[in-house]
Amino acid sequence: MSRVQLLCRALPQLAIPSPLATFPRFPQLSREIRNKIWKYAAMQPREIRLGKLRHFQEEEDTEHRGNDTEAPAILQASREARSEGSRYYTKVRESRRSVRTDENGMYLAADLIMDRVIGRDIWVNFKVDRFIWSTGHFSVDPTGLPASTMIRAIGYREFNFDSSVIQQIQHLMIDLRKCRLGWHLRSLGSILNNEHMQMVTIVADWWVRRGTGSLLMKEVHRHGIENRMCSDILTQLSMDSGWSKLRFGIELAPFELNQGPRVPMARHEPGYFQYFLTST
């Protein structure tokens, strides 16, 4: 063993302190620095579920129970933190609605007209929080139309937030792994066509990419032609949906788990991809 190695062995072990669990000197910082730290804490994005009228068989499915999002930590840390955090968070009312079905799985008309709602308040930072739309499959009525067609005229009552909240959404994720986009174009159009929307991410399984062209492009194009050819019949639906006035260009971006950005969903499987709709 060399002399250098012997000297190194004789040195005391380097003690690396563990990360601090608390920062007791935080109150001694200037108010300006503390406010910047509170702002940074308020800019951590969270996920807010944009819900739907739900089927009674989904009663035990936690995915359809609404948001279990707790109040942000910054609003619970101290009086100063809450005061500063309230500059970035807005308290909104979420409605949890349960809709019954008959023996054939059809939504009961009475429940589509009469709200049976349980409400709760949640906090949203619209600048960074992402609303996630994941519908599951709607039942189909005897005419062959999806049940969303029956409730489309109800407008925002389809969602668990009212129009004043929906029109402030800036970041939206549409999860196509559990629904068919064509069934919800008009409903989603009413969400997308607002002046605050910044980014829309569409997530789907690998099989959606198969075949020629883009499913999303085909759906939007088809409904655009439909609205023009049948304008005398669909004028009101077109106005409700807003797709004919959508302020977005469509950019297709294949998504791979090892190459693209991480999708903040509970499940991760190879083959997911994303569409990005960027405002023009």
Series of mean pLDDT values for 10-residue runs along the chain (280 residues)? 84 79 89 94 89 46 54 91 94 71 51 53 92 57 38 52 85 69 59 75 53 45 45 41 44 39 37 39
Q: Is residue 269 assigned to a domain?
A: yes
Output the pLDDT for position 246: 47
Per-residue pLDDT, 29: 94
Domain assignment present for 277: yes
The Cα–Cα gap between 208 and 215 comes to 7
**Model pLDDT, residue 264:** 37
**Residue 231 domain-assigned (yes or no):** yes
Instruction: Provide the domain limits for residue 225.
Output: 170-280
Residue 107, in any domain of the structure: no
Closest Cα to residue 136, out of 198, 49, 200, 197?
49
Distances, alpha carbon 168 to alpha carbons 51, 92, 123, 124, in Å: 16, 11, 13, 10
In this predicted structure, what is the pLDDT of residue 38? Answer: 94
Is residue 235 domain-resident? yes
* Contact yes or no for 38/85 (Cβ under 8 A): yes
Helix H or strand E encompassing 191: helix 185-192
Beta strands in the chain (DSSP E): 47-50, 90-97, 117-124, 130-133, 171-175, 199-204, 248-253, 273-279
Q: How far apart are CA 130 and CA 171, in angstroms?
A: 5
Q: Domain with 224 in it: what CATH number?
A: 3.30.110
111: enclosing H helix or E strand = helix 109-113
- How many domains, the chain? 1
Establish if 183 belongs to a structural domain.
yes
Q: Kindly state whether residue 190 falls inside one of the protein's structural domains.
A: yes
Question: Is the pTM higher than 0.85?
Answer: no
Q: Quick one: pLDDT at residue 143? A: 36
Q: What is the pLDDT of residue 99?
A: 52
pLDDT value, residue 103:
58
Q: For position 188, what pLDDT does the model report?
A: 67
Give a yes or no: residue 25 inside a domain: no
Largest pairwise CA distance in the chain: 94
Give the whole-angstrom CA distance, residue 68 versus residue 120.
10
The two tokens of residue 32 are 């300006």
